[in-house]
Structure 1
Amino acid sequence: MADTRLIQGRYRLLDLIGRGGMGEVWRARDESLGRQVAVKCLKPLGPQQEASFTTVLRERFRREARVAAALQHRGVTVVHDFGEHEGLLFLVMELLEGRNLSQLLEDNKQHPLPVDRIVDITEQVAHALAYTHEQGIVHRDLKPANIMRLTDGTVKICDFGIARLGHDIGFTSKLTGTGIAMGTPHYMSPEQIGGSQVDHRSDLYSLGCVLYEIATGVPPFDMEDAWAVLVGHRDTPPQSPRSHRPELPDFMERIVLDLLAKSPDGRPGDARELAHRVARARSGAAAPAPAGIAPAPSGRREQRLPSWTRGMTTGRKAGAAAARTPPPDTSAGLTGEWIPRAPGRPGAVLSEPRRPTPSPELLAVLTSRHSAGLSLGRLGRWEEAGEVHRAVAAEREHALGPDHPDTLASRYEVGFTLSRTGRAADALREYTKVAEGRARTLGAEHADSLAARQEIAYVLGQLGRHFEAHQMYTNVLASRERAMGADHPDTLRCRHNLAFNLSRLGRLEDSHRMAVDVAAARARVLGETHPDTLVTRYEVAYALGQLGRWNEALQTYREVADARARSLGRDHPDTLAARYEVGISLGRLGRSAEALTLYRELVDDRSRVHGPGDPETLRARHGLGVNLGRLGRWEEALDEARNVAAIRGRVLGPEHPDTLVSRREVAVGLGWLGRWSDALAEYRQVAASRDRVLGPEHPDALASRNDEAHCLEQLGRSAEAVDLYRRVAALRRQRGSGTQAP
């Protein structure tokens, strides 16, 4: 823009103040009133937009600008005017003389600000947030750069409503599959990261991050890699601010830690309450006890961050990561048609016909439904989640095309729900299509393509095809190491899965060695008590058990359980899972009475926390039944197995692997009670189901046929038993002949 440019015949642009993702900010002169103002010029929509689309966006701009202009508080930047000039949307704001908090930290060489200034900033921002939240407005992108301290000491929040405006118009980065304005990773709340609905308490969390940084000189999760930052917000309690700065007052530390509670319910109720706490502390009155940091919410197997985090960077704090992995292209979405590119050929476009830009209303509805599917999954309601994701995938394919990233994101989630409901073969087909689509449009080594291939390896393992899984994991690992480095969290996750799969191939020593290495690397990168570190130590314990080193396995499981109880809470699902494995180890060591006591407590805890029909509650009940049998209490064991099998059949389905495990336990109990004919019928039904679900060559299916042969022996039908044993042996040889030791 020329320095003399006049907007709407009134605002003359003088000096460029700053430039960002949404546009430029200029110092300007209001020629009508003769005052200096700041003019934010937003990026143009572009000529490719349909008329109806740009009309909707202009109306959204006017709506959000009116909301921002209606805010009248000394702690909020005043918006004087807004409009459109030659296709350019603009906002006219008061011109502020001062420095934002990010600049103040830089001026201070990243040293923390004086305590009295921190307390003053906290109180002023709290009053400003209280006002805006009472107007029903949430900032969504509170960070040091958006908080200005003027030369007279007044503190103002900038860009209220702009984060939402940027999301609506498509200027800010879009979170694929969640529909939330992305915000800045170092200051995002856990609910923003997880794609949940945000309210005023999300701003309180972001304020906690800001206060932590100005009080200590570093953000609460100060990692080079944005992925690790987001995981930290979601899973890891922050370090005490006083561990960085011992002279920080106790009341200030308690306020910051309350604001950083993982659960919104653990934070102050509202900003007004926060302002009162600061005022009481300044006057010397006792502040209320801190609410404490809530444990991280439960989630899926190896709970994952949304796909939009792949390759993300955070500016200066992620420079090294940025050099290795380019961020995903988010220029599509609401701002224009998405055009698939031929991988490896810059500028080359695939032959798929161009589609009209879908309406923003339709995209918003699909985004909301996608988020609803994710929420159902987080609640463990996988069948319902799968139905939602399948419907959204079909509509996204129609509106956006089969290879659009959002369509593939929905299909990826379909694969995940299939995997969680025991339909591994169907999941494999879905993930394969996703991987192929992402390879075509993003390239085979893009982080999202690698994520799909890694899930293919996982379901191959579920299907007992461990050699193929090993090959896939090995290939993905090589790509991740090239693109991200050996210690990137995604690389370490792949190595973790590879270690797990090695144990299923019978390479127990290799599995144990790799798990120990990954645990050490995760401890170094993420911390000793980080959930991912403990997951790998859990795998170390599993490998020790498989090697027959049950005393060491028991000790490791106990250490993991204790660490999880301290960092996540006694009732966290991961803590309860480690306690379950402690019971397994006790049983293997012949200490069934101790295991029985542990499982009874675990069933009570699981029932209280998750309900009696939860799959993990039923898993604990299964362990209880097994140990009843080991103690010779077979009638009780049989009753327990039947009850668990019936509930699992209703909850998970009659042919879910866990249901079949319980039905096999029913057969075991029948056999021990001498009821071999009944046991044979049960074993045969389990074997037939496993043949259908897993395939006749799957190890579990072969084990069921061996169970059937053993029953035949007990019934005196030796010829049939021998024939069945031979058929099982032939299938095992056939399975083995198609593979070689990796």
Structure 2
Amino acid sequence: MAESRLIQGRYRLLDVIGRGGMGEVWRARDESLGRRVAVKCLKPLAPQQDRSLARVMRERFRREARVAASLQHRGITVVHDFGEHDGVLYLVMELLEGRNLSEVLAGADRARRPMPVTDVEEVADQVAAALAYTHEQGVVHRDLKPANIMRLTDGTVKICDFGIARLGHDIGFTQRLTGTGIAMGTPHYMSPEQISGGYVDHRSDLYSLGCVLYEIATGAPPFDLQDAWAVLVGHRDTPPRPPRRHRADLPPYLERIILDLLAKDPGARLGDARDLVHRIRAGRGGPWPAGTVRRAGRYSGLPPWATGMTTGPKATGTAGRLPLGPDPTPPGAAAGLSGPWTTAPPAAHPEGSGGRPAGGTTGPGPAGTAGTHRTAPRPPAPSAAVAAVLASRHEAGLSLGRLGRWEEAAEVHRAVAAERTRALGRAHPDTLTSRYEAAFSLSRTGRPEAALGEYGDVAAARARVLGADHPDTLAALQETAFELGRLGRHAEAHQVYSAVLAARTRAMGPDHPDTLRCRHNLAFNLSRLGRLEDACRMAAEVAEARARVLGADHPDTLVTQYEVAYVLGLLGHWSKALETYRAVAGARARVLGPDHPDTFAARYEIGISLGRLGRSTEALRLYQGLIDDRSRVDGPLAPETLRARHGLGVNLGRLGRWEEALAEARDVAAIRARVLGPDHPDTLVSRREVAVALGWLGRWPDALPEYRAVAAARARSLGTGHPDTLAAHNDEAHCLEQLGRGPEAVALYRGVAALRQRYAP
């Protein structure tokens, strides 16, 4: 299969990203849908291998496909396809960008260290929620371990590898597999009942999760012995050493949870994973230890509060997709749809109930609502069946969003919001959560005005019901500010960001990650208001604080350092900008990988800085390498590949190689017109570059139609008074001058000046 590199005429294998006992995992491209995927291939049988072993392995592989494909949850790897090609079984899954927990623990120097407490809590929360869903479907994983839990760069923790999972209705199949003598689990994480060959159910997974949490909290598994038999005896007979003896700063509630999970008797463990979710969230909502900085939301690669940070392409490099936030459902309630909702806000709820870190808002909400919690009449609670259906549809909407199908996601969330309005009332938090997600989906489909209106309504309703300073209210407000910024209403966005920042500082302190995230967004917005010195100073302060709280190489620290470099460039300090971009690119390559989109984004900005410093030969080499890497990872027609080609063409011109620059600009402009559309801003930038090259070659008659076409297209798409439209008319006037048509040029210059004065803010 590897020789053909193409499976079933559809999945093109690119490179091996993992090997295990059952086979290899390849990074691949789905040629039909144009997306990257992971393809797991079962190892072919070696001549000396036992045929019965091969049959069992194939059966397990098929089983993994069947079990995993039946599960649809944000915390479980999505399976797209399964089949056989040239005698080799393959499984097509979503491509997970991140590291498994075993790799996270090992670190770059291979010295195993415990994870930060907040990360341990985050992993515990998300894995418990995924297990709760899995167990409710009648599936027991039976091989839960750090290597089978991935922490992704989009803020999600996912369980992988259901190769030996058991379906509750398929015990006979399991017995056939275990009868082969193949180990059903990994010794350091096996439950006592697994070891003794007893009955295994969902409580065995809870024990294995206890082992995982013990290891990520202390740096070593509960029975860290070299001899496998000693490990098994430890699980069976020896009480684990309390984890706080290894690590005194571990919260007592978390130690109690871990020890309860590690009970030898299955009946003495927690009842089920849903109970575990509630215990974790109740513990996290308690008082914070003195001097501890709590981190909100989902952490994985990129941190919980910055995943999908919506500060625009210059601040991030990618638009991340965000996971569902904490499930506010109390024990016994049906999917969060029938519990009480008019109580005071929790003291330390980490994020909005929609689960998306804030990025924008419409305004601070109605005056006089701070601290008010009104008890409104509500419809009777829906039946458990209705609650379950709505919760499932809500989850389906989130899944569509994770797949990038934002139009469909918006429709699902709006439909669920309408149903929840009828069942629960318009101001119920679950109704508002659905409306929040609908707004998020609208934003991703390029409808900022519609998203702005929805976020504004949600923010106002949350302020009335939960209070103006409640984290959910602030989340909706921040999203509104982001949409205001997208619409060019930066002064209004500044007011909202400032109000949210004041509220977050009061509630959480100046160094809380949510506060720092809001300060980052405020700094970004200041640069768009033209307050470059203020923006640079604030971004530098946020970068310093994030380095202190999270570490110098943390992805969120690097996001802010990237913004510092960008503003330095706007201020003309290109040497400092180059130095900062290089530091960011190097750190991102180490932390996220050399092929991560954010690493590529920093490399692109290095090229911009080199060009601005007159070092175009170096810039040319950089862009050529970036084009090669972008083409390999994203394809030759991807917008970011074309952006790198545009940079290459600009620097060819700076080196006086205008014929080559013209050919490159024309080719990029033609591709952008096909891929992005003839009036897309990037297409017009390339057409302007065509005109510039024509002018430098002395072909001004040919340049004039290009300049005029760009000006007309910008007027259509951006408006007659937009700065880019006016700049295009200036280009046109300059071209008229070069053609000796002075009176026409003067008239056009005067018209541009009048429009600037008319549309001045």
Question: TM (normalized to structure 1)?
Answer: 0.58
Shift of residue 600, structure 1, vs aligned partner: 0.5
Shift of residue 582, structure 1, vs aligned partner: 0.8
* Structure-2 change in CA distance of 1:531 and 1:76 (3 Å): same
Q: Secondary structure at the match of 1:308?
A: coil
**Is the aligned partner of 1:397 residue 2:511?**
no
Query: For the residues of structure 2 that align with 1:550 and 1:93, how far apart are their CA atoms?
Result: 59
Counterpart residue type for residue 524 of structure 2: F
- Which string of whole-angstrom CA distances, capped at 9 and with x for unpartnered residues, describes residues 135-166 of structure 1? xxxxxxx972453254xxxx8697699226x6
Counterpart residue type for residue 162 of structure 1: D
Query: For the residues of structure 1 that align with 2:606 and 2:584, how far apart are their CA atoms?
Result: 10
**Is the aligned partner of 1:367 residue 2:390?**
no
Shift of residue 526, structure 1, vs aligned partner: 0.8
Counterpart residue type for residue 645 of structure 2: R
Q: Which moved more, 1:495-504 or 1:417-426?
A: 417-426
Contact 1:621 1:644 in 2 (8 A): yes
Query: For the residues of structure 1 that align with 2:352 and 2:578, how far apart are their CA atoms?
Result: 47
**Is the aligned partner of 1:538 residue 2:562?**
yes
Equivalent in the alignment of 1:16: none
* RMSD, matched Cα: 5.0
**Is the aligned partner of 1:387 residue 2:407?**
yes
Q: Secondary structure at the match of 2:262?
A: strand
Query: For the residues of structure 1 that align with 2:236 and 2:673, how far apart are their CA atoms?
Result: 55
Q: Which moved more, 1:690-699 or 1:571-580?
A: 690-699
Q: Secondary structure at the match of 2:656?
A: coil
Shift of residue 611, structure 1, vs aligned partner: 1.6
Equivalent in the alignment of 2:600: 576
Shift of residue 374, structure 1, vs aligned partner: 2.5
Query: For the residues of structure 2 that align with 1:62 and 1:539, how far apart are their CA atoms?
Result: 45
Counterpart residue type for residue 325 of structure 1: A
**Is the aligned partner of 1:225 residue 2:248?**
no
Q: What does residue range 183-582 of structure 1 map to in structure 2 within 5 Å?
A: 224-227=293-296, 230-231=298-299, 233-235=300-302, 301=318, 303=320, 305-306=322-323, 308=325, 325-326=348-349, 345-349=372-376, 359-360=386-387, 362-377=389-404, 385-401=405-421, 405=429, 408-409=432-433, 412=436, 415-416=439-440, 424-425=448-449, 427-582=451-606
* Structure-2 change in CA distance of 1:110 and 1:458 (3 Å): closer
* Structure-2 change in CA distance of 1:104 and 1:546 (3 Å): closer
Counterpart residue type for residue 301 of structure 2: R
Query: For the residues of structure 1 that align with 2:758 and 2:500, how far apart are their CA atoms?
Result: 28
Shift of residue 305, structure 1, vs aligned partner: 4.5
Counterpart residue type for residue 362 of structure 1: V
Q: Secondary structure at the match of 1:574?
A: helix
Query: For the residues of structure 2 that align with 1:480 and 1:413, how far apart are their CA atoms?
Result: 22
Query: For the residues of structure 2 that align with 1:638 and 1:364, how far apart are their CA atoms?
Result: 55
- 1:148 pairs with one of 262, 278, 285: 262
**Is the aligned partner of 1:721 residue 2:745?**
yes
Q: Secondary structure at the match of 2:687?
A: helix
* Unmatched tracts of structure 2, length 5 or more: 1-131, 141-166, 176-190, 238-255, 286-290, 304-315, 330-344, 355-368
Q: Secondary structure at the match of 1:471?
A: helix
Query: For the residues of structure 2 that align with 1:608 and 1:471, how far apart are their CA atoms?
Result: 43
Contact 1:709 1:721 in 2 (8 A): yes
Shift of residue 592, structure 1, vs aligned partner: 0.8
Shift of residue 527, structure 1, vs aligned partner: 0.7
Shift of residue 76, structure 1, vs aligned partner: 6.0
- Which string of whole-angstrom CA distances, capped at 9 and with x for unpartnered residues, describes residues 300-322 of structure 1? 7464653625999xxxxxxxxx9
Shift of residue 599, structure 1, vs aligned partner: 0.2
* Structure-2 change in CA distance of 1:712 and 1:424 (3 Å): farther
* Structure-2 change in CA distance of 1:113 and 1:394 (3 Å): closer
Query: For the residues of structure 1 that align with 2:497 and 2:690, how far apart are their CA atoms?
Result: 36
**Is the aligned partner of 1:643 residue 2:667?**
yes
Q: Secondary structure at the match of 2:510?
A: coil
Q: Secondary structure at the match of 1:620?
A: helix
Query: For the residues of structure 2 that align with 1:703 and 1:592, how far apart are their CA atoms?
Result: 25
Contact 1:628 1:637 in 2 (8 A): yes
Counterpart residue type for residue 296 of structure 2: W
Contact 2:394 2:413 in 1 (8 A): no
Shift of residue 68, structure 1, vs aligned partner: 11
Shift of residue 691, structure 1, vs aligned partner: 3.7
Query: For the residues of structure 2 that align with 1:618 and 1:505, how far apart are their CA atoms?
Result: 29
Contact 1:470 1:498 in 2 (8 A): yes
Percent same amino acid among aligned pairs? 53
- Which string of whole-angstrom CA distances, capped at 9 and with x for unpartnered residues, describes residues 15-41 of structure 1? xxxxxxxxxxxxxxxxxxxxxxxxxxx
* Structure-2 change in CA distance of 1:699 and 1:353 (3 Å): farther
Q: Secondary structure at the match of 1:234?
A: coil
Query: For the residues of structure 1 that align with 2:639 and 2:235, how far apart are their CA atoms?
Result: 43
Equivalent in the alignment of 1:706: 730
Contact 1:654 1:660 in 2 (8 A): yes
Q: Secondary structure at the match of 1:492?
A: helix
* Structure-2 change in CA distance of 1:349 and 1:673 (3 Å): farther
Counterpart residue type for residue 635 of structure 1: E
Contact 2:729 2:752 in 1 (8 A): yes
- Which string of whole-angstrom CA distances, capped at 9 and with x for unpartnered residues, describes residues 646-687 of structure 1? 333444444433333333323333333444455443334433
Q: Secondary structure at the match of 2:665?
A: helix
Contact 2:352 2:475 in 1 (8 A): no
Query: For the residues of structure 1 that align with 2:647 and 2:438, how far apart are their CA atoms?
Result: 31
Query: For the residues of structure 1 that align with 2:272 and 2:522, how far apart are their CA atoms?
Result: 44
Shift of residue 520, structure 1, vs aligned partner: 0.4
Counterpart residue type for residue 663 of structure 2: D
* Unmatched tracts of structure 1, length 5 or more: 1-56, 82-90, 129-141, 175-180, 187-221, 237-298, 313-321, 332-341, 378-384
Contact 2:414 2:438 in 1 (8 A): no
* Structure-2 change in CA distance of 1:696 and 1:158 (3 Å): farther
Q: What does residue range 28-67 of structure 1 map to in structure 2 within 5 Å?
A: 67=168
Q: Which moved more, 1:549-558 or 1:388-397?
A: 388-397
Query: For the residues of structure 2 that align with 1:624 and 1:448, how far apart are their CA atoms?
Result: 45
Structure 1 or 2: larger helix share? 1
- Which string of whole-angstrom CA distances, capped at 9 and with x for unpartnered residues, describes residues 507-526 of structure 1? 22222211111110000111
Shift of residue 605, structure 1, vs aligned partner: 0.5
Query: For the residues of structure 2 that align with 1:580 and 1:672, how far apart are their CA atoms?
Result: 25
Contact 1:77 1:158 in 2 (8 A): no
Shift of residue 610, structure 1, vs aligned partner: 1.7
Query: For the residues of structure 1 that align with 2:666 and 2:267, how far apart are their CA atoms?
Result: 62
* Structure-2 change in CA distance of 1:421 and 1:549 (3 Å): farther
* Structure-2 change in CA distance of 1:677 and 1:397 (3 Å): farther
Q: Secondary structure at the match of 2:618?
A: helix
